[in-house]
Each structure stands twice: as structure tokens, then as C-alpha cells.
Amino acid sequence: MSRFLAACRREEVDRPPVWIMRQAGRFLPEYRATRARAGSFLALCRTPELAAEVTLQPVARFGFDAAIIFSDILLPLAPMGVEFAFPDEGGPRVERALAGPDDWAALAPPADGAGTACVAEAIALVRERLPRETALLGFCGAPWTLASYLVEGGTSRDHVAVRAAMLAHPEAFHRLLGVLADAMAAYLRQQVAAGAGAVQVFDSWASALSAPRYAEFVVPALARLLHGLDDLGVPRIVYVSGGHLVPALAGLPCEVVSLDWRADLADAAAALPGKAVQGNLDPAALLAPPAAVRAATRAMLERVPARGYVANLGHGILPATPIESVAAFLDVVRGER
Amino acid sequence: MSRFLAACRREEVDRPPVWIMRQAGRFLPEYRATRARAGSFLALCRTPELAAEVTLQPVARFGFDAAIIFSDILLPLAPMGVEFAFPDEGGPRVERALAGPDDWAALAPPADGAGTACVAEAIALVRERLPRETALLGFCGAPWTLASYLVEGGTSRDHVAVRAAMLAHPEAFHRLLGVLADAMAAYLRQQVAAGAGAVQVFDSWASALSAPRYAEFVVPALARLLHGLDDLGVPRIVYVSGGHLVPALAGLPCEVVSLDWRADLADAAAALPGKAVQGNLDPAALLAPPAAVRAATRAMLERVPARGYVANLGHGILPATPIESVAAFLDVVRGER
């Protein structure tokens, strides 16, 4: 039985399962070698054999309890008619930003999953090769986070354009989030059908919103997405950035909430009855010396609930993270010192 | 009697006083004209006659209840030996980032206020020319926010370097924040002596920290800074970014907490007994049409406490803000429609 899946279901486990957001990629030398062979980031995402290879690399090196398929949250937007690029410098760029209601209405719901078949193929390859007890996660971007990319035209520091568009055109924005929710539910179903045993929805830009706006616009779209998976029986994890939005997620149909480093694990567990929590070491702590990493990890573990806890970082691992920091983090989580 | 000062003291007022963070500059055509005459942003800050002129412009146009001296939070770092630049594109840049403890120890506390005399002169000029009932605010950056600029070498999206430095060198980082707190207390005293009737401390990058780290590192430095003004009797305002840190400020020696758009005014007032609150309309709302601005302002005013409230935005006004949005916001706050 998978330690990871048991913890998601709040069953008893021998120790917390552990994986790391963005564990496939960025900081690993073996990743950089495969990435160079692929030629481009998008080619790596879209070549099942290579995507499977980098997905498996961190599990082989560190023995994580879960793997997460190597991909990007923008990928399923391509079959909806959105063109984007991943330049070597800077974040992803949407070629033509969808600034307002007319652009949003033109967003075409995806057809039959053909545009994301490469992700499903990679999942199938990974599932074949992964140790049986290691869980495999599929994932997607949350409707709000995807809408931010679409309206801003890329990564934004303050998400001002999307906040303004939401307030200026509330009804059309609700519809946009609904279209994205349905598309992402279909995409996650495709990933589960291919072999993913759990799914994570990343609301990486949630922290730009107040709790009332989040409850008004975003939570209904998240609920719609998650309810689209009701019959599958796989754990649904929602990652939410920012420390102030955790209580807003209490009513969502998900089994796990993944917390960013600004939230408190104990407070969050109390605010989310019936749900497991995941997280939330500050990724910046892994840039400090190993002794500081161990101290920070121990401090985190003092705040975890008795049941229903998955160890992780509070955000994606940073590209500059030393391997020995990851080892120090894992040693403490596994009770080895 | 100043409506603004009365509200800061939680006395009864006829209507909420109102001003806007960054009201001097950016979005006003008369500002852009003076800025062009000055030649550079730093020349504008450092020429008392011109700094006074742009400080007075928004009061003349909109009749705000308070003016805030036109300056920048990095200015008082120059007499401490820090060199910086304000390029026309992008945020400010510290020429040599102060990455670690050795750099921090070399930071020289400022001498006699000579390096910031231009700010004091501008304050004196503004106070002479400002209507008697209009308050004049001095300001400074909070120790954490200044430390982020110093360690990151400029504006940072995620503040990873300063978070890592803090965790790697906690004792030296505490000392750095203490040096900055003392320097800023002296700087604010200089501004009050020149004629400022209230002061605001901007912790613009607070939101990058968890509440426990904020309480451990930042709150003691803020308390030290604010206690340095105990004998002056002027209202002390602390602006804090992020929605999750408000309760951490409850014990601070300040009269007003200025909230960002993600906090809830009513919840914050309840969490801050004895203090007034200021804020917190989303600046992005002012990019929406006037009807949406009015609706958002009305929704905000439904959450304000009966006493001790100053109307403002939840962050600095955006450069692209139309004049008519400001007018719509002011109309609603003043009860004119």
C-alpha cells in the first residue's frame, strides 16, 4: 500500500510520506542533461519518453514516496487555441494575451484530449516503470492561475491586469473560469485514465486575491473542477499560495490542501476538518546550510497533525538548491536524524 | 482640527478622512511635467522646492485630507553608505547588494541627519503652504523591506535571497534589522521636527514571510523603531502587505495599521483592539469603469469600524489609473453619491 495515498486518506502511516514540488527538473544535474538532449523545454514536455525519464530521475535518486508527471500547467491550453512560448530567460509567455470578454468568449473548449495525449502517454510510461508503492500524481493549473496567465500574457508580479479585468467584467470572468474548470477536469480525467493515482491542482497565484474575492470568483470554479472527478476515487490535492486563503478552501471537494510556506500547518489542519494537509517548508530554507535546513524541517514537523500529513515544500524547489539540502530535509522527515 | 489626525486617534469625525498611497506622482499629468523638469527621479526627490511642489499637487486637485511627502524609502540609505539608482525602466537597483553578515556589519549608521536634510527642507516648505486642516505625513521603509532591497539588490519578485539569508544567519540578521530600525527612527524624528504631523512605516514586502518568522524577526525591529518616537505624540501608521500578518501587529506601539487589499477591514479592526485601520481598496479596482469603482468602494465602506478609520487604497495607486476613477472613489468616501 502506498504511504502517500494512505496519508491523503488520513489513515495511519509509519512516517510522513514525502515528495517535493518541482522535484523533476531544475536543480538536478541529470535533469539538465536530458533537457539539453531534448533541445527545448516544450519538446521535453511533449516527448513522452523524455518526460517519463525526468519524472523518474528524482525518485531514483531520493526514493520519494510520490512522483509527479513532468509537464507544465500551460500545456492543455494549446488545444484550446492559446499559443505560448517558454523562452530560455524569464517565465512563459502567452503570444496573444486574452485581455477581455471578447477574447475569453473565443476560447475554444478542447475536443477529445488529442492535444494532450503526449501527457497521457508519459504517465503510462512512468506508471510502468515506477516502484509499485510509489504514487504517481497528475496535475493541472487552477482556473484563476490559468486566467492570470491568459489575461496578463505571462507571469505577472502583481496580477493587476487580471484583478482589474475580473472587477470590470465579473459575469464574463465567471464564465471564463467555468470554461477553464471544465477543460481542466477533462484533462485530469485523462491523466487518471492513463495511470495517475492522485491529482494536484495548482492555484499558484491565489495569493493576489482577498478572501472575499477568492470565495466569490475562484472557489466556485475550483468546486466545479473537483466535482468533475467525484466518481474517480483518487485523492484530489489543491495547492493554494498565500497564508490567508486556507479557510476559504474548507468546503471544497478535495482530500488534501497543499500549503505555501506562509501558512501554519497546525492552524490550517484545524481550519480544514476532514482534510489532510501537505507542505510547507520555505524553499528558501534549502539555500541555507544543512544544519539550518534540519532545524527548519524539525520546526515544521512540530506543527503537523497526527494523521493526514504529506511532507513537502511550501512552493516549488528553487533551481539553485544544493543536493545536500534535499538530503538533509529528507533525513529529518524520515526520522534518520 | 484635522479630520485625519482625529480618525488616527479614534475620535469621532463627520466622515472618513481620505488620502491615497503614492498620490503624489505617477498618475497625475502635473506630476509628469514637474518630473520632466527635474531631469531624474532622484533629482526630484532631492530638490526641496520640486519635491514640495509634487507633494502639494494632488491636494490642490482632489482636496485630500492628508499629504505625504514626496520621496523614496531608499533615500535615507545613502548616508549609510548604500549606493542606488532609479533607472527609467524597472525598479530601483542597489549598486552592490549586501548579501551576508560581513556586508551587513559594514553598514554605517548615519551621522547627524545631514544626508537627509533635503527631505526635512521639503517638509518645511510643504507645511508652510498646505491648508492648516490638511495633515502632512512623513514616512520611511520598515527594516524588513529595506533589508530585502539591500540583500536582493533591488525589487524582488519572491524575496528568496533575503529569506535564505535570514534563516542562514539569524543573529546577524537581527542585528541588521536593529541598525535599520534605529536609523529609521532618527530619520522619522527629523521629519517630525521639520513639520510632519504623522508618520507611516511601509512594510511593503512583509507578505513574503510567514506569521511566525514575522513575529520572530520583524516585529521586534518594528517595535524598536516605533518606540523611538514614543515622546513625539504623533500618530504612527504601519503599512503591512499580505492578509495574514495583521494579528502579528496587535502589540506594536502604533496608532494605525494600514491594510493591503487582501485583508478584511472589519476582521482587522477586531484583531487590533485600540488601533485605527487604514485602507484598503484594491488599486486594480481603479482600472475598472467608474461604476465598478463606486461599487467596490461602497463594499469596502460596509466593512469599516465605527471609529478609527482612514480611507485609502490597499497599495500604491497604479500609474495607469484614470483621473475619473479617483474622483469616483472620493465621491463615495465623501458621501456625495
Nearest to B262 among A161, A209, A261 (CB): A209
Which of A276, A329, A246, A260 is closest to A4 using CA atoms? A276
Domains along chain B?
A: 3-333 (3.20.20.210)
User: What percent of chain A clears pLDDT 90, i.e. is strictly above it?
Assistant: 93
pLDDT(A110) > 70: yes
Q: Write down the pLDDT at residue A301.
A: 97
Closest-CA residue of B relative to A168 is B288
3-state secondary structure of B54: helix
Q: Which residues of B are catalytic?
A: 22, 26, 35, 72, 149
Q: Complex ipTM, two decimals?
A: 0.92
Chain segment B120-179, per-residue pLDDT in tens: 999 999 999 999 999 999 999 999 999 999 999 999 988 999 999 999 999 999 999 999
Which whole number is the average pLDDT over A285-298?
A: 96
Q: For A131-183, give the DSSP string.
A: -TTSEEEEEEE-HHHHHHHHHHTB--SS-HHHHHHHHHSHHHHHHHHHHHHHH
* Strand (E) or helix (H) holding B162: helix B160-168
Q: Which residues of B touch A90 (CB under 8 A)?
A: none
Nearest CA-CA distance, residue B154 and chain A, Å? 14
Chain segment B255-311, per-residue pLDDT in tens: 999 999 999 999 999 999 999 999 999 999 999 999 999 999 999 999 999 999 999
Cα–Cα dist B178/B168, whole Å: 17
Report whether A331 contacts A294 (CB < 8 A). Answer: yes
Tell me the pTM: 0.95
Q: Which residues of A are catalytic?
A: 22, 26, 35, 72, 149
pLDDT(B102) > 90: yes
pLDDT(B44) > 80: yes
Nearest-5° angle of CA A242, CA B255, CA B271? 45
3-state secondary structure of A335: coil
Interface of A with B (CB under 8 A): 157, 160-161, 163-164, 167-168, 207-213, 242-244, 261-264, 282-285, 287-289, 292, 296, 318
Chain segment B185-214, per-residue pLDDT in tens: 999 999 999 999 999 999 999 999 999 999
pLDDT(A115) > 70: yes
β pairing state of B135-141 and B93-94: unpaired
Q: Binning pLDDT at 50, 70 and 90, where does residue B332 land? A: very high
Q: Is the CB of B164 less than 8 angstroms away from the CB of A285? A: yes
Q: Write down the pLDDT at residue B109.
A: 87
- Grid coordinates representing A49 are 519518453
Q: For A207-229, give the DSSP string.
A: GGS-HHHIIIIIHHHHHHHHHTT
pLDDT(B1) > 80: no
Nearest-5° angle of CA A129, CA A11, CA A122? 20
Burial class (CB in 10 A: 0-12, 13-18, 19+), A89: exposed
Distance of CA B315 to the CA centre of its chain: 9
Chain segment A216-266, per-residue pLDDT in tens: 999 999 999 999 999 999 999 999 998 899 999 999 999 999 999 999 999
Q: Is the CB of A289 less than 8 angstroms away from the CB of B262? A: no
3-state secondary structure of B276: strand
Q: Write down the pLDDT at residue A42.
A: 95
Q: Binning pLDDT at 50, 70 and 90, where does residue B337 land? A: low
Q: Is the CB of A210 less than 8 angstroms away from the CB of B262? A: yes
pLDDT(A284) > 90: yes
Single-letter residue type at A77: L
Question: Given strand B256-259, what is the order of strands in its sheet?
Answer: B66-68, B135-141, B198-203, B236-240, B256-259, B276-281, B309-313
Cα–Cα dist A116/A331, whole Å: 37
Q: Write down the pLDDT at residue B130.
A: 97
pLDDT(A60) > 80: yes
